[in-house]
Structure 1
Amino acid sequence: MRPPSLRSPRFLILLLLIALTILPPLFHTRAAQADQGPTDRSETEVEKENESEWRVVRAYFDDPALVATVADLAPWEVNYEAGYLVVETTAADRSRLTALGFRLEVDEALTALLNQPSWPPGLESIPGYPCYRTVEETFAAAQTLTTSYPNLASWNDIGDSWEKQVGLGGYDLRVLKLTNAAVSGPKPKLFAMSAVHAREYTTAELMTRFAEYLVSNYGIDADATWLLDHHEIHLLLQANPDGRKKAEQGILWRKNTNQNYCSATSNSRGADLNRNFPFQWGCCGGSSGNQCSDTYRGAAAASEPETAAIVAYVRSQFPDQRPDDLTSPAPADATGIFLDIHSYSELVLWPWGFTNQPAPNGNQLQTLGRKFAYFNGYEPQQSVSLYPTDGTTTSFAYGELGVAAFTFELGTAFFQACSTFENTILPDNLAALIYAAKSARTPYLTPAGPDTLNVALSTNSVPAGTAVALTATINDTRYNNQNGTEPTQLITAAEYYLDTPPWNGGAPLPMSASDGSFNSKIEAVTATVNSSALAPGRHILFVRGQDASGSWGPFSAIFLTITGGTPPTATAVPPSPTAVPPSPTVAPPTATPPSGGTLFQDTFESDQGWWVNPDGTDDATTGQWARAIPEAVNYNGPKQLTAASGSFDLVTGPLAGANAGSHDIDNGVTTVRSPAVTLPSSGNITLSFSYYFAHASNASSADFFRARLISNSGSTLLFEQLGAGTDRDASWSSVSVSLNAFAGQTIQIQFEAADNGSGSLVEAGVDDLLVTP
């Protein structure tokens, strides 16, 4: 949970808006912008226009067809139901709108935002928006993922920004690739890009959080685990880093920063990268030929280095699955999903954007779009329904390669309040992104099938031979029908796979309707899992359903742990940089005693087989134990520390995240258990370890850190520290406990940490564990 703070985003934004009303701008953040068509002025004339003439207006219309006539102005928002659009304008633009029949109303608050003074460059965060990471902070977060989890994440240079290409500093364009490198392919791919329009703050942060969620939940959440084992996810977090640096100064910057367009110092310079892609570039009035326009398409198709890099990378990742015409569909079993994440307007869009003609796979795109919109609550529609666009990312990905391509328009503002992002945009769209990852294998087939929900086992951990009840809900109705109604059908079947999914040759095992017959669009289903042939360790069950159209929906998964005659153990999760991530079935290891009389020693620099959530009963939703390289976290003092020695330790959520509360323990208990250690029958046996337990002042005695000993005779509490309603900083301390009472037994050491109260900032770490005779 986010720690308590007097500096809430809403409060900071309110202060900013008050300041804007009483302080004169130091300078305006926009130079003049030209429009296209018969009213175009020369770029020199545009550049000389008095900057104080910029206004954001609501332009009301009676005829929706008028919107297409001003597509070159790139309206911020179009509300067809209420009959208005929101757009930034010059005096000439307003004259043009009035002449076309629009009724104008100046939006004073948005105009103040447009013309606010810029913030100084070089800040480590965006003033007033602490939830959004800068370009440098985004890159650092991605690098941390690859350093901590190199078997799951790689950080790849795919090209240069314009400024870097011409020697003015700039940035690499980098893609964060997520997949379990230990599991061979080929694997279906999800490619998602964000922040191609620089001023759209929410987009890059959403994608970065998505990456952190998947990696930090590998081996903990069954869906995150199988997605990384069997799929690839490619994330271009900052598609326009030069422009983003301008936007981080509070400028409503949209384009790249190419100084060859408009003028070298104008804030209207650059090309709109989302009008610069090669498919149907400049074809249909959905972009501008005027260099100062927000929708300037560039000198030629893919003329910008950012565009060229993205085009080359996407072509290298996806097969060409359709001709480059406007009528030939991709095959039904075509693979891959392409997402371009934008803000704002609360929309899910799919091709085409340059014609009212539906795309050849229009029905399938509509089905998947309505499914995405079910999760985020946005309106699903063909792109051209907003206003005409050409030379766009999604037209390229679908038009040239046949990849199912979509745009998400997040939220309700370019500079979205952090409270809205954290409470609404992030959770709603994270669910949509997970669905995209699940559907990437067959995006034109899978979304037509039902969702599998509420997958559960009667018990998550059993001895081999115990019958286990598997239950789930199969639901065919989960579509957003704001813009037309998606057909739905009765459920006709459900099945599960044990450890091996169908694409690897796994055998289906049938499930039954709980009420005895499949006769509804929402069905509870059940099966009895025979565990007699299962090896000790963790197994994964994949569950899916089928509807009367014959469509199978996406899989949802759950872990089942089989215990053996000795205390169960398994390979640590998430995987360490030096360890290969385990296969779903893991046999229990036993610790190998080190030389020199030490029974067991672990500095956590190598993977010795600790097991997260060994009994399958943990309920913490974030901050689960992991062996990793921890990032320091500070909130009123240190709350998460780097390792006591070396680089690695056991830590409750190793990442720092966007704020101190991003990855701490939340909503329950997290547990980690050592491999089995056999103690001698005599001697002075001692356990020692280093630890810290830290929390903010809103903690309580329900929060705790504990060390337990697990043996065949049960569980024994060795050490406990409870939380309190005071701020407790992290500091490495040492504990030493006698184990003489357990001489001659085979034991395991278990660490537990919990945020069990109303929710607080809670962190814990363990390092340098030693068992000596």
Structure 2
Amino acid sequence: MKRFVLLSTVALPLLLIAGLFAMYRPVAGSDGAPDLPDSATADPFAIEIVRAYYPDESVLAEVRRWTEPWSWDREAGYILLDVTGSERLWLEELGFRLEVDEALTARYSQPNEYLPGQGNGIPGYACYRTVEETFTTIDDIVSNHPQLASLIDIGDSWVKAEGGGPGYDMLVLKLTNSAIAGPKPILFSMSSVHAREYAPAELNTRFAEYLINNYGSDADVTWLLDYHEIHLLLQANPDGRKMAESGILWRKNTNENYCSPTSTNRGADLNRNFPFQWDCCGGSSNSACSLTYHGPTPESEPEVQAITDYVSSIFADVRPDDFVTPAPITTTGVFLDLHSFSQLVIWPWGHQTALPPNSQEITTLGRKMAYFNNYLAAQATVLGITDGTTDDFAYGTLGVAAYTIEMGTEFFQQCSVFENTIVPANMPSLLYAAKSARAPYMLPAGPEAIDLSHQLLTIPVGTSATITFSATLDDTRYSSGSEPTQNIAAAEFYIDTPPWITATTPLPIAMTPADGNFDSSVEVVNGSLDASGLALGRHSVFIRGQDAAGNWGIVAAFFVDVVETESLYLPLVTHP
């Protein structure tokens, strides 16, 4: 189906450069791929994970026409990928020297099995929700938080749309405080469009839960949902994901019209099927059994049709579909596509090495997101040429700031790594992307307000008291390259009305540098507020800073509660 239906709230989530992909096997054809089986008799677990040392880099393009390496260690001179017996022989004929990774081969060459006592989650990986469990989480969020959450059916998976089976709806979870009118800037975040990438869908779901669970207690999350919209496509390839849950390294959708109806190599690579520069530049395959098969036409796949239609409906088209015209600096909105693995934050273009028109601004936000997860930030061609991809579509067609985050170090990431490393590293990146959506080509150049400290969080109404607080303004928090930084030039705060509200005139109150001078790119600033005039209830204090180049940064906030009766004075509270 091609529709957007708002459902009832009770109806229903080194340069070691890892690639994105590998299980469906190409038959010999126009891409010069090895002669490989396309029938259902092929065992999807009859694979080895190998380090393939290449004779020279020129042969890599030939390999990439039919598969996508897991990773590329350029310094050591090898790519990591999974191979069948036929592929192994073909690579050796090309001059590759192969070394088997026994540990990875043991993990990926057998079906998933439930752990002892495991009741939920993907077999063997209890931290990752199945497709059905993800949808149950969405239903629970919408049912329990109707003012903050709604569900939008944007279309159908291939099996449901054309395959004659139940398949799945393509479901977007929309988070915002519906009691506050828009328009509001939007973050759209999709995940696991490559089915075998377990971590992205779960991280995106955890992001939704974090926002819902912290609304009303965390001042930053509260203003984010009050004044922004978060649109989350948690399972972007549900048919393929269901196959991958069994332990098959399934990447594509399950379209039976390609390769063979029963082959484990069937389907189209959804992240090569988007319309902008589809099949333009050798960054995808013409072979129907190939890992990177781009489909017969742009948007041939119902999942891609659903995504392109929906994304085009929520973001304004602010630039022509050329390679030279920048989007206006005031453009709102951020588009994210979450993948694994390789520990990268990447952005357009992927189909050519030339820089995009908004290169400076796109790079600045990318480097800012990479600061939090400590990933490499780079243009997407760091992975090689790709065409028909999500982020090239979002930026190239609409002008929205678009990024892919490649998280972690494996497709089936161990739960201990996911819980202890991937989630804490990437949650701040997602939060920053969401906060920057009001002006992604401007705000990331400004200083962050961090390490807020404040006194008297709870005061009796009418009390003659002064609330004192401080923050650190930091103009230096970027990763991967040299980003322009300036001295802090100004700091201010607002009470209850953030600076972007235009219906009224918010009153800025100046803050002062703790050392007496604005002469550094990192400054501690102090502020104070007479609380005697504050009305009964909760109040928000918004803090922001400006650097010497005139760039304002994203606001940070804290709450002050004015209560009926005298409450305990909290001496000092700090948070990052």
TM score, norm. by length of structure 2: 0.89
- CA 1:51 to 1:460, structure 2 compared with 1: closer, same or farther past 3 Å? closer
2:119 aligned with 1:109:
no
Mapped to 2, the partners of 1:211 and 1:315 lie a distance apart of 22
- Counterpart for residue 479 of structure 1: 478
- Counterpart for residue 55 of structure 1: 48
Mapped to 2, the partners of 1:161 and 1:325 lie a distance apart of 31
Q: Is the CA contact (8 Å cut-off) linking 2:39 and 2:260 kept in structure 1?
A: no
2:267 counterpart (251, 270, 290):
270
Mapped to 1, the partners of 2:333 and 2:375 lie a distance apart of 22
2:214 aligned with 1:221:
no
Offset at residue 528 of structure 1 (A):
1.2
Mapped to 1, the partners of 2:333 and 2:29 lie a distance apart of 36
Offset at residue 368 of structure 1 (A):
0.9
- Counterpart for residue 691 of structure 1: none
Q: Is the CA contact (8 Å cut-off) linking 1:561 and 1:616 kept in structure 2?
A: no
Identify the range of structure 1 (99-108 vs 204-213) with the bigger mean alpha-carbon deviation: 99-108
Q: Is the CA contact (8 Å cut-off) linking 1:71 and 1:389 kept in structure 2?
A: no
- Counterpart for residue 174 of structure 2: 177
- Counterpart for residue 561 of structure 2: 561
Q: Is the CA contact (8 Å cut-off) linking 2:454 and 2:573 kept in structure 1?
A: no
1:127 partner letter:
P
Q: Which runs of 5+ in 2 are unaligned?
A: 1-21
- CA 1:40 to 1:374, structure 2 compared with 1: closer, same or farther past 3 Å? same
- Counterpart for residue 312 of structure 1: 309
Mapped to 1, the partners of 2:27 and 2:40 lie a distance apart of 9
2:443 counterpart (434, 442, 446):
446
Q: Choose 1 or 2 for highest CA Rg.
A: 1
1:147 counterpart (143, 147, 172):
143
Mapped to 1, the partners of 2:70 and 2:417 lie a distance apart of 18
2:248 aligned with 1:255:
no
- Counterpart for residue 335 of structure 1: 332
Offset at residue 156 of structure 1 (A):
1.2
What percentage of residue pairs aligned between the two structures are identical?
A: 54
Where does 1:706-721 land on structure 2 (aligned, <5 Å)?
A: none
Offset at residue 63 of structure 1 (A):
4.9
2:77 counterpart (62, 83, 87):
83
Offset at residue 65 of structure 1 (A):
5.5
Mapped to 2, the partners of 1:324 and 1:382 lie a distance apart of 19
Cα deviation per residue 1:146-170 (whole Å; 9 max; x = unaligned)?
1110000011111000111132111
Cα deviation per residue 1:102-161 (whole Å; 9 max; x = unaligned)?
4322222323333213559xx853222111111111111111111110000011111000
Mapped to 2, the partners of 1:180 and 1:545 lie a distance apart of 26
Mapped to 2, the partners of 1:618 and 1:117 lie a distance apart of 53
- Counterpart for residue 509 of structure 1: 509
Q: Is the CA contact (8 Å cut-off) linking 1:32 and 1:54 kept in structure 2?
A: no
Q: Is the CA contact (8 Å cut-off) linking 2:45 and 2:108 kept in structure 1?
A: no
Offset at residue 319 of structure 1 (A):
0.1
Offset at residue 49 of structure 1 (A):
7.2
- CA 1:360 to 1:70, structure 2 compared with 1: closer, same or farther past 3 Å? farther
Mapped to 1, the partners of 2:179 and 2:249 lie a distance apart of 43
2:153 partner letter:
D
Mapped to 1, the partners of 2:572 and 2:406 lie a distance apart of 36
1:560 partner letter:
V
Q: Is the CA contact (8 Å cut-off) linking 2:28 and 2:36 kept in structure 1?
A: no
Offset at residue 99 of structure 1 (A):
5.0
- Counterpart for residue 394 of structure 1: 391
2:361 counterpart SS class: helix
Mapped to 2, the partners of 1:165 and 1:118 lie a distance apart of 28
- CA 1:45 to 1:210, structure 2 compared with 1: closer, same or farther past 3 Å? closer
Cα deviation per residue 1:294-323 (whole Å; 9 max; x = unaligned)?
111111101000000000000000000111
- Counterpart for residue 18 of structure 2: none
Mapped to 2, the partners of 1:113 and 1:620 lie a distance apart of 44
1:534 partner letter:
L
Offset at residue 39 of structure 1 (A):
2.1
Mapped to 1, the partners of 2:225 and 2:91 lie a distance apart of 50
TM score, norm. by length of structure 1: 0.67
- Counterpart for residue 71 of structure 1: 64
1:86 partner letter:
L
2:416 aligned with 1:405:
no
Q: Is the CA contact (8 Å cut-off) linking 1:561 and 1:615 kept in structure 2?
A: no
2:520 partner letter:
S
**Two-structure CA RMSD over aligned residues (Å):** 2.5
Offset at residue 546 of structure 1 (A):
1.2
Q: Is the CA contact (8 Å cut-off) linking 1:34 and 1:46 kept in structure 2?
A: no
Residues matched between the structures, number:
544
- CA 1:511 to 1:99, structure 2 compared with 1: closer, same or farther past 3 Å? farther
Where does 1:603-752 land on structure 2 (aligned, <5 Å)?
A: none
Mapped to 1, the partners of 2:319 and 2:229 lie a distance apart of 22
1:461 counterpart (458, 463, 467):
458
2:378 counterpart (381, 397, 407):
381
- CA 1:234 to 1:65, structure 2 compared with 1: closer, same or farther past 3 Å? farther
- Counterpart for residue 11 of structure 2: none
Offset at residue 620 of structure 1 (A):
13
Offset at residue 441 of structure 1 (A):
0.7
Q: Is the CA contact (8 Å cut-off) linking 2:131 and 2:235 kept in structure 1?
A: yes
Mapped to 1, the partners of 2:272 and 2:181 lie a distance apart of 37
- Counterpart for residue 244 of structure 1: 241
Offset at residue 509 of structure 1 (A):
1.3
2:122 aligned with 1:129:
no
- Counterpart for residue 5 of structure 2: none
Offset at residue 68 of structure 1 (A):
3.9
2:289 aligned with 1:292:
yes
Mapped to 1, the partners of 2:135 and 2:40 lie a distance apart of 35
1:238 counterpart SS class: coil
- Counterpart for residue 12 of structure 2: none
2:385 partner letter:
P
Mapped to 2, the partners of 1:445 and 1:373 lie a distance apart of 17
Instruction: Choose between structure 1 and 2 for higher RCO, CA contacts under 8 A separated by at least 6 residues.
Output: 2
Mapped to 2, the partners of 1:526 and 1:348 lie a distance apart of 34
- Counterpart for residue 712 of structure 1: none
